[in-house]
Amino acid sequence: MSGGWNTIESDAGVFTYLVENLGVKDVQFEEMISLDSSYLQQLPPVYGVIFLFKYPVGESKPSDGTAADGTFDPGAAENLFFANQVIQNACATQAILSVLLNRADIDVGKDLKDFGEFTQAFPSDLRGEALSNSELIRTVHNSFARSSPFVDEGSRAATEDDDVYHFIAYTSLQGSLYELDGLQPAPISHGPCTDADFAEKIIPILQRRIGRYPASEIRFNLLAMIQDPRVRAREIGDEDTLAREEQRRQAWLWENELRRHNFVGFVHEVAKAVARKKLKEGAFEVWMGQAKEKAKSRHANRKQAAAAAGGDEMEY
């Protein structure tokens, strides 16, 4: 297997099974379709949110070293799990780990617990190196990438003409609301915050970030990391919720399997089978004749339009 990291989708089913395959217990992701604090408050315990946005490649940063919103907290990097991003395409999993490895109320399993303890004394840049070199985390991450027969451009340097997307995490830690972004030099504090008022305080922060973009920009995605709803459903005997959540899990499993499958070969074989069938039925020549007549008609129409305009015919 290649040592690189592949792009994965911002999807509740992908993230839920990604963390489960890493050994995390009782965690699920819920897609937020609107910036609504009341909806967020109705969810099971919310551990944090993962925010996806178009990264402004080439955008200049404040010259005085301040954050665009909030305040850099270098000291927090020594007490929290904060890793600098040192490799492309790893930011989704890195944002997820920024919440998982900072929350004592999540059972992250032996492997991630060992990784967190191993990197605890590292500076943030070495934490990023350790994360990018973790075979376990990279293998699980890549297992959720879409199968593609084409060359991955992930190693190509991004330019200002590219659409580049980035994942960051927000969570309540040690009495403050932190923004954890591996492309920043340190965690960003957004002021006092507890788990109880996280839902209310995170929404204005996200609105301000989205407000930096033109009104036409709608390519954002927000996923809440929550306790698996099945935990509470089992505790209170809510069979309806349990059945509904189990059904969602099965649908996510199926979607994840489809992501891993390369359908190009299948489509190619179907196209060949259709062509053989048309040839056998004598319909292929008919179809080709119809296509030629349509092409001639379009060509004639273009000539007429060009003549009427007093110009030469344009080739398309």
User: Can you give the pLDDT at residue 264?
Assistant: 54
Residue 218: which of 168, 259, 163 has the closest Cα?
163
Please tell me whether residue 71 adopts helix, strand or coil conformation: strand
Percent of the chain scored above 70 by pLDDT?
A: 79
Q: Choose the catalytic residue: 91, 141, 190, 193.
A: 91
Q: What is the pLDDT of residues 116-134, one digit of tens each?
A: 999 999 999 999 999 999 9
pLDDT category at 281 given cuts 50, 70, 90 is low
From residue 57, alpha-carbon distances to 92, 149, 288 in Å are: 18, 27, 47
Please report, as a single letter, which amino acid is at residue 202.
I
Query: How far is CA 299 from its chain centroid?
Result: 45
Please tell me whether residue 159 adopts helix, strand or coil conformation: coil
User: Can you give the pLDDT at residue 78?
Assistant: 87
Percent of the chain scored above 90 by pLDDT?
A: 63
Q: What is the mean pLDDT of the chain?
A: 85
Residue 115: which of 136, 92, 88, 142 has the closest Cα?
136
Please tell me whether residue 311 adopts helix, strand or coil conformation: coil
Q: What is the pLDDT of residues 243-261, one digit of tens each?
A: 999 999 999 999 999 887 6
Q: Where are the alpha helices (DSSP H) in 133-223?
A: 135-142, 198-210
Radius of gyration of the chain from its Cα atoms, rounded to whole angstroms: 25
Q: What is the pLDDT of residues 6-51, one digit of tens each?
A: 999 999 999 999 999 999 999 999 999 889 999 999 998 999 999 9
Return d(Cα 115, Cα 81) in angstroms, integer: 11
User: What b/e string do you get for 255-286 counting C-beta neighbours within 10 Å, with b at 16 or more?
Assistant: ebeebeeeeeeeeeeeeeeeeeeeeeeeeeee
Relative to beta strand 165-173, strand 188-192 is unpaired
User: Can you give the pLDDT at residue 291?
Assistant: 75
Per the annotation, the verdict on 91 as an active-site residue is yes
pLDDT category at 238 given cuts 50, 70, 90 is very high
Is 12-260 a CATH 3.40.50.2300 domain? no
Q: Choose the catalytic residue: 141, 166, 190, 193.
A: 166
Q: What angle do CA 81, 82, 85 make, to 5 degrees?
A: 135
Please report, as a single letter, which amino acid is at residue 111.
D
Per the annotation, the verdict on 166 as an active-site residue is yes
